[in-house]
Structure formats: C-alpha cells, structure tokens
Structure 1
C-alpha cells in the first residue's frame, strides 16, 4: 500500500477531492462527473474500519470488496452459485477442500500465495472480533484454526472440514468479506505488538483487488484508484469516489444535477421520485437480510415471552411498510425471505392493540412501562423507530428514541446496553438454513462468554433448544432431512416469541444514472465495481 501511495500523482488526488467536495453554503456548482470516475453518494456513518477481518458493516463491505479478493465468490445472477475468484479450482473430499490458486499479485507487488490465505484465516480467528462468528459457527476457533488450514505449496491451499457444516456452507463462508486474503508480509510489517496489524489495517489496505485505497476521511470521503496490475484486467473506472451524503434530499439533488452517479441512501419517498424518470433507473437488490427489532431479554420486562409477544402484536407492519419502508423492503416476521425455498408462511403478527394489551396485563403489566429504543441515524431506520414508538404507545408502552452514529449504536448492541434496538441482519448463506443462522445461534448465553459477534447473544436470549436443532440441521448431509429440520426450526423460532424479531425483509434500493452500465448490486454488499463503465455526456 505504501508503494502504491508513493506513485499517486498529487494532481490526480486533488482532482478527485475537488469532484468530491461536500456541498454546503457557498459551495460551487459541480460539473458532470468525469467519464472515467464513478461517484457514489451514500452514508459512510457505519464505516468504522476497513480491516477485512474486523469490519462487517455493509458500507465497509462495499469498500473491502474492491480492495481485496476472496478464494471464491457467489454469483447471485446465476442461482447463488459459488464461482472462482483467487482460486482457479477446488476439490472437495471427505475430510476437506483443496484450492488451486491463480497467479496474482497484491498492490504492494508481492505475489499472492497460499501462505497469505492461511495467514488471513488464522488472523481472522486470532483477532477474535465479531467478524469471526461466521467461521466459529462452522466449528473453527482461535485454538484449532492453525491445525485446520495449510499451504502444501505456494499455489495450493487446504482447509480441513469440521463436523459442523456441509462443504457448500463452508464455501459460502469463504466467499464473505471476512475471508478476504490480505498481504501477510505487508500486514506483518505494520503490526504493533500482537495486534496482527489491526491498528494499521483499519485505515489502510493490503489487498489484491481491482482497486487500491488512496484516502479515507471518516464521514466524508473514500477514494479508491484503479489497480493497473489487477489479475482480472485493469478496471474501466480510473477512480471510485464514495461521498458521505446522509441527507436524502441533498443526495437526490446531487444525483439529478449529475454531481454523483449512484445514490444508495435515499429515503423511500426520494427513491420514488426517480420512478420512470428519464436518465435514471432504480436497482432493487434483495439482500436476503432483515430489519430487526432486538429486545434485551436479559432485562425485565423483556425477559418475559408474553411481553415480547405483545410487542409483536403491537406493531403495524403493513402501515410502516406502505408509508416508510417502501422500496427498502416488505413486512416479514420469519427470518427466511418469503420467496426462498423452504420458507414457511408468516405468523399472524399483525397490529392487534387489544390483544397486545391483554398479553401485557396477563404478564403483570396492565399499566405498561417505559423503554428506550436505540437506532443508527440512517434511512429508513429513524422513521421506523418513530413509527414503532407511536404504535407501542397505543398499547401502553412508552418509548423514547435515542439516535446515534454507527460506532455508538453498534457498541451498545454488542455490550447488551439497550432495551430495544433496530439492527439489520444478513443471511449466513443464501439458503433458508443460512438465513436462520443469525436468529437461532447462541451456544453460550452467559455474559462472561462475551460473544459480541453473535447476534442472538447480544439480546441475551437463551435458546438451547433452537441452537441444538440448528447445529443438527447444519451437520445433516441428507437434503430432505435437512429441509424438514429447517422447517421445524422456523416453526419453533416463531413459537419462542423471539427477542430478535424480524420486522421487514430488507431490500437495497439504488438509484443509478443511465450513464452507468455494468453496476450490479450484491446482496451481501460485496458489490464489485471493476466491470462498471460510464458513457460520456
């Protein structure tokens, strides 16, 4: 990364920043974006780190996907098939998976070797951040990882299987951003003590992807430059600029004027203004994930299932979907997208205030109680929170809303420091069982387990029966038996009055200028930009 930065032309960087100046009082009108630069207006509030073995926030993943490669990738346009990236091919046997790597180099000029793959996965588990949860649920941990991965030679990588998941489930995990391959020599050279280079890699990059990191100013700008030596060919776009544009109306105006090429943090109403509008198109990415109401089951009264059920009946899902969520999703209370194979029908959790009041009274709270709802100050979650506040007031629950930036709210969630909180969840794999994983996985609910990377643990919801059934389903190699167990798992989840209540299946509406071609949004936010082209004005 250092060597790349030294080659950047000062004039080129200055031009990029001029194109990416934030708008404000007295700011000059901006010209149409250059044909060789892609400018994205988005919210960077959740970009807390660019370390691929640490960051899991969606916008961080968008950046990481272009700075780094993984062994494999998931082609959502081809039925979620697993396809090569750094791995040219792989072979599955009874004990593990062996990968053959292509010839590639990192941005530093160092060759990509199997030792870098080993280092990256060991680093993921040894750092023991929340991002390691993906591999932990497959049976890997900081103690066993070094025995489970090996590099027989520079272009051969081997990972041994555990008895926790089937091979495809492991391959899907290796396609995620947390499994990105880092330049081990570059990272080791910038390590401080035993931090595995985390302090440095949070704000720098050491990847082999189609772009390299030129600048990141938090809540302002991320600038990436094309990697001319990329193994997949030089990207068409010379520069990618991600501008912090959290105010929807301002971002809409910027897109209309041509100051940005893509907007992906607009309100539902602003997205709607681009319907059938010449010069623009709306991409609706079905993420497979959910907007969730997390309830802290470690606190009364949320520890009582009847109270959680009352809240489930105290929310007007349809009304919120119609008036607020719009293109951002659809109402759904089972954590498997409704059109995925194996999904069960939705329960009858509609807005029924009288039923909700009775459930509260039966639980010992006829007069209701007060709670605080925390949310990241980002569309559409703030408006969701306000609507939920109004709904729950009708059943006697007084809710105060606390907005914050990504770091504040995520930290509170991981520390169990909340009553109610609105996070978003993604599927572990693009299957019904993979979608259930985040919602039914909590092997150790004790506070001292400190499993902050576990979505259910954060809500202190102890679910030994669900967890055991999930583990058994993941081990089952007979497709029919696994499908039956997946159905049972959904039914038991609903019956348990969940403390992690799915609200809306999550879509990602993206408004794109007609000048842009080849932009395909990824459900996991791992959107690659190296094939994007742009017409001149």
Structure 2
C-alpha cells in the first residue's frame, strides 16, 4: 500500500455570514442594540472554560479550538474532514503499512525563533511517548516503535503494528518548539508555528491570542487578535452577541436559534455533527452492574421528547455507540420509549421499588437542562436522581482523579464526545476499552468486556477494510446490548457569527477553525 499527498496550498476557506452589527451602532430588526465593532480583532463566546493550553494534553473542543490558532500540525482537516498538508508537503506509507515517511515544508519557524524541521517533529513525538500516558496525546502514539531522521526535512515513523487510524492520529498532533517541551509554562506563553501567539490567559475569564508578525504564510493572519471568553449562561451569551460584545458564539442555545435566524443580517450555521450526547452509567457499582437496570433506564428515556425539550429539535436519535456520520457506523435496534418494558426489567432485576442516585454535569445551562430532563424521566421507574453541577475544572478532577473503579464517586455523568468521522478507534477505544478507565481514558462507565477489547484492537490492526468493518459491526452490537450508557442523541450543532466575518468554520467534531478569520 502506498499513498502520497502533494502540496495543496492554502486550504479552502468556507465563508459564513452571521450576526448583524452596524459600524455606527443602532438597532437590528429584532430590536437589539448592535453596538460598535472593533474590526482589528475577533471575540468568541463559548459555554465552558478552557482547561489546558498544553498542545499535547488537550481533549475538549474548546481547548483545541484555541490551540489551533497558535499551533499547527503536519496535516489539517478541511471542512469535509479530509486531511490536507499543512507543515508537511506530503507523506508516503510503506507496503506493509508500518512506516510513514513525511516530507516537511521549509522556511518555517516557531514563535521563539527555532526552526521547524525533522528534528523538531522527532522531539515532539518523543516528548509525548516519554510521558508514558500522562499526556492525552500518548494514547494515539503509543504504538510507535521508532522515529528516524531521513534528512533535515524528512522523518520516518515506524509502528509496532499496522494502525488503520494512524495517519489521522499523527497528522493532527500539534508541533511545539523543542526548546519549550520540557520547561514551557503553557498558561503564560506559547511557541507554535501558527498565525497567533498567546498574550494572556485569565482563568475563567478569557484567553487572548495576538498576531504572529513572522507567520510563514503570506497575507496571514488577517486580524490582530482573537479573544475567547467562556460564558456558561445561555442568556448572557446571546445578549452579548446581540449587542456586539461577541462576534462569534457557539453553541447557540437551541431556544434562540430561530430568533437569531430571523433577525436581520444574522445567520446561524447548522452542522450535522459527530457529537454524541449520552450519560455514562457506572457499571462497577450496584445497582448499575445489573444490565437489566441499565436497559430499563434506556427504555425509560423518551428520546423524541429529549430532542424536543432539551435540544429544541436540533438533534437526532442515536441507534449505535457511533454517530451516523462515522464511516463505520452500523444501525442497531433502538431503545424505543417503553415504560412497561422498563418497569418489567426493573422488577426482574429486583429493583421494582427503585433506588436513589446522582447525576453529574458541568455548570452550563444546557447541561442543567439535560440532567433535569433525565431526572424527570427516570422518576417514572422509581429512580430518584439528584442533580449535581460542577465547574468544568472541578468536574474533570473528580472524574479523572480516582485510580480505580472502587475509588470513583460518580454514579452517572451527563456528557458528550466527538471524534473525526474517519477515526473510529477514537470514537470507541477511549470510551469502552478496559484499558481506558480513568485516569488513562474516558471510560467513566467503567465498562469492561473482553470481547469488545479484542475486537477494538483487532479492528485497529485489520489488514483490509472488510475485516475492519466486520469487527466494528460486532463491537457496536455488543456495546449497544450491554447498555453502559443512556444513549440519547447526536447534536445538530449551531454557530452564529457577525455577517462581516469570513474565513471561519466549525467542523463536525466540534472544533472551531478561526485562524484565517478576516473582516470584510
């Protein structure tokens, strides 16, 4: 097998036209004061705090969206999710699928002046591998056997075993200056090759990035600065957008989508996403270790009502652990709303009278709405749910700090996950593999099935597409039947923007690409 990608030049920019704003103030047709605009910069409002600016330890869409302005990778996805060259000119794969050779672009420097070359790529990979799992990027690269310099601007990466997802995993890893890898304080400074560099991070308030005057692409960046502001309260985020304090907001609260769509000059872009809404059920604890209880809970949730009440219609029911946008998706028989069946399963499990439990989530408005809906639904089968909300950093610590299932305090967690449509392993392994129990992964259901472990690993190293698909078909069927989650819906995501802002788009896996932003 051989594959080579030639240089594509600048990626296609998808122009979106959004939220109305007059240069001299005034009112839009919906009666909101648009305020005045500073067209030297862009201000983005999202619903949660940034957790880390370490380019090798990020996992949330918000973190990645900010980091994408400062750091670049060998390859980059376009809006269709296909990878195109960025820091690399192209790559080759050996016939046995074990060796990936990247030819790198020349004339690129990190913001600290260090040259980007093959040594820099090797240093970044080795830094991740040397973390031995303490960095999130480790799980994608742990199958690397060796990294070899094949020239100043050519690097060879050899795997222990063939990995069908590797090009996506290695191609999208951010590259940082080798000088900063062991000593960088990422909260105060950055050293990537991107069009922006970090000015300041005020935890809980904002992240500000400013123009990299020495950026290697001619004509970029086109704005002087970008400010990212976490605004968990939906009403505040929308109000700030209407008054012009924010140029971009995502997600758009589902209750405000139609209002913003109808306002003069506004546009809300709708994206069929890979983002799956679910609630993990801690299968290591009674009564959740009983599969009949978990299945009863799934039958007790009215998914149509969830989409209508919680998502205001902007979502689609799931019928697999994988979203429909994933290339290996296979539909399963749905857990249709059936209270009689749910009650019968609870009775068979010995819990006809129900039990009390808790559900955790972030302090965002949208999470509260979702958790209160689940509380109401499960009450119908005598499960009394207490809702507990936490600031995102606190929640992350409570989820990831326990070293064993016995140490974990979580019963249920209302959350979501997205991955690129072509990276099926990342949509399954971190969530369902036994090896992905916290703090090593995101399997907060503490779900363990040896058959699933074997199939996921086998699919990753499959030699043919047919073999891979067959294994993923089996994985989806087993997980769906075991019901380690409350399976809810995939989002139809929304993003709103000032109509004069161009060069900005959001991917189906929830990341914002704003580094090419420009004002008309």
* TM-score band w.r.t. shorter chain: 0.7 to 0.9
Preserved CA contact (<8 Å) 2:76 2:84: yes
Deviations 1:213-271 (A, max 9, x none): 11110111111111122122321111111123222212212212222111114321022
Query: What does residue 204 of structure 2 align with?
Result: 219
Match for residue 417 of structure 1 among 402, 409, 414:
409
Moved more, 104-113 or 503-512: 503-512
Give the match for residue 245 of structure 2: 259
Would the aligned equivalents of 1:334 and 1:490 in 2 still touch at CA under 8 Å? yes
Kindly indicate whether residue 504 of structure 2 is the aligned counterpart of residue 504 of structure 1.
Answer: no
Task: Determine if the alignment matches structure 1 residue 41 to structure 2 residue 41.
Answer: no
Q: How far off its partner does 1:526 sit?
A: 4.0
Provide closer, same or farther for how the CA distance between residues 432 and 183 of structure 1 changes in structure 2, counting only shifts above 3 A.
closer
Residue 345 to residue 444, structure 1, CA distance change in 2 (3 Å):
closer
**In the alignment, which residue of structure 2 is the partner of 1:13?**
none
Q: Are 2:36 and 1:32 equivalent residues in the alignment?
A: yes
- Correspondence for 2:155: 157
- Give distance in 2, aligned partners of 1:110 and 1:282: 41
Matched with 2:359 is 373
Counterpart among 177, 182, 207 of residue 183 in structure 1: 177
* Residues in 2 aligned to 1:32 and 1:130: alpha-carbon distance in whole angstroms: 42
Q: Does 1:116 align with 2:108?
A: no
CA distance in structure 2 between the aligned counterparts of 1:175 and 1:288, rounded to whole angstroms: 20
Q: Distance in 1 between matches of 2:74 and 2:331?
A: 36
1:266-295 Cα offsets, whole Å, 9 max, x none, are 321022311232211112233313112111
Unaligned runs of 5+ in 2: 1-32, 403-407
Deviation at 1:92, TM superposition (A): 0.9
Output the aligned Cα RMSD.
2.2
Deviation, 1:394, is: 0.8
The correspondence for 2:500, drawn from 515, 520, 525, is 515
- State the distance in 1 between where 2:498 and 2:332 align: 36
Residue of structure 1 equivalent to 2:288:
302
Q: Following TM superposition, by how much is the alpha carbon of 1:444 offset from its aligned partner in structure 2, in angstroms?
A: 7.2
| Structure 1 gaps, min length 5 | 1-28, 192-196, 446-450
SS in structure 1 of the partner of residue 312 of structure 2: helix
Output the CA distance in 1 between the equivalents of 2:348 and 2:36: 62
Distance 1:125 1:202, change over 3 A: farther
Instruction: Quote the offset at 1:203 in angstroms.
Output: 4.0
1:442 aligns with 2:440: no
Moved over 4 A (4+): 339-342, 431-434
Match of 2:229 among 243, 265, 280: 243
Give 1:124 deviation, angstroms. 2.0
Q: Distance in 2 between matches of 1:133 and 1:308?
A: 32
Length-normalised TM-score, structure 2: 0.86
Q: Deviations over 1:173-204 (max 9, x none)?
A: 1244xx2111011334xx2xxxxx4xx12443
Query: Does residue 1:465 correspond to 2:469, yes or no?
Result: no
Q: Pick the aligned partner of 1:495 from 481, 487, 500.
A: 481
1:16-415 alignment runs, 5 A limit: 31-45=35-49, 47-77=50-80, 80-93=81-94, 94=96, 95-103=98-106, 104-127=108-131, 128-129=133-134, 131-132=136-137, 134-135=139-140, 139-140=142-143, 147-166=145-164, 169-176=165-172, 179-188=173-182, 191=183, 197=184, 200-233=185-218, 234-326=220-312, 329-414=315-400, 415=402
TM-score calculated relative to the size of structure 1: 0.84
1:50-108: CA deviations, max 9, x gaps? 0011121221111111110111112233xx32211111111111331011111211111
> Is residue 293–residue 422 contact of structure 1 (8 Å, CA) maintained in 2?
yes
Deviation at 1:483, TM superposition (A): 1.9
1:16 maps to none
Between 98-107 and 243-252, report the one with greater CA deviation.
243-252
Q: Distance in 2 between matches of 1:353 and 1:285?
A: 33
8 Å Cα contact 1:246-1:265 kept in structure 2: no
What is the deviation of 1:432? 5.0
> What is the distance in 1 between the residues matched to 2:300 and 2:362?
22
| Aligned-residue offset at 1:363 | 0.7
Aligned residues: 477
